[in-house]
Chain A
């Protein structure tokens, strides 16, 4: 069964360092999402791509976060510099466009 892949699964970094997360969506899924999930809360959308284009990045803190999906397939989310409050689970999801979203296992980020 096809799944969304994410790496790394866990990342520990010090504040002010740069971190990057990678996501490979299910093959053929045009829509890709990055979410942030703070412990005990629901996921919050950071950015949504349709193919290689950003559809919605209204909740992305653009002073430190960036996301790209250059060829419309896999995607990278970067944080530079990381802050203590960025500690969270970063989830990637993809969709064939039929509203149902398929989530990856997430990357657990800890900023020290």
Chain B
């Protein structure tokens, strides 16, 4: 039979508004975090990253905030556009005995932009 996936958390925003997507990570020893964007039928695409010695990093229209105290990561998208509609995943890089660049993906949030 067909496997049924989990229902993704969904965020709907009006075009031009700011979006905030939240993520809770699991390993307090993780020292590197990444946000990926995945459009329908495509592989994940890197958006922005942040190391654990920082609490904020800005890119073009995107900002990532890291709160290590509560193991929380957020992605802010300014002036959201229809092309931002996608599923967004946070990923953490925990310590690993054989690979320093192994990442663990979170469950994802579906962003829908209303024109």
Contacts and interface: CB of A to CB of B under 8 A. Distances in A.
Range class of the B interface residue count = 20 to 34
Contacts, number: 73
15 contacts: A4-B43, A39-B5, A40-B6, A41-B107, A42-B108, A45-B104, A55-B99, A56-B96, A84-B3, A97-B101, A99-B93, A99-B101, A100-B46, A101-B103, A106-B42
Interface stretch (A61-69, A72-80, A87-95): A87-95
B34 interface: yes
B11 interface: no
Range class of the A interface residue count = 20 to 34
A103 interface: yes
A43 interface: yes
Contacts of B46: 100-102
A38 B5 CA distance: 6
A106 to B, nearest CB: 5
A14 interface: no
B39 to A, nearest CB: 10
Contact of B3 (A4, A87, A106): A87
Contacts of B1: 84
Given A48-B99, A55-B99, A105 B42 contact: yes
Contact of A48 (B8, B102, B106, B108): B102
Contacts of A99: 32, 34, 49, 93, 100-101, 103
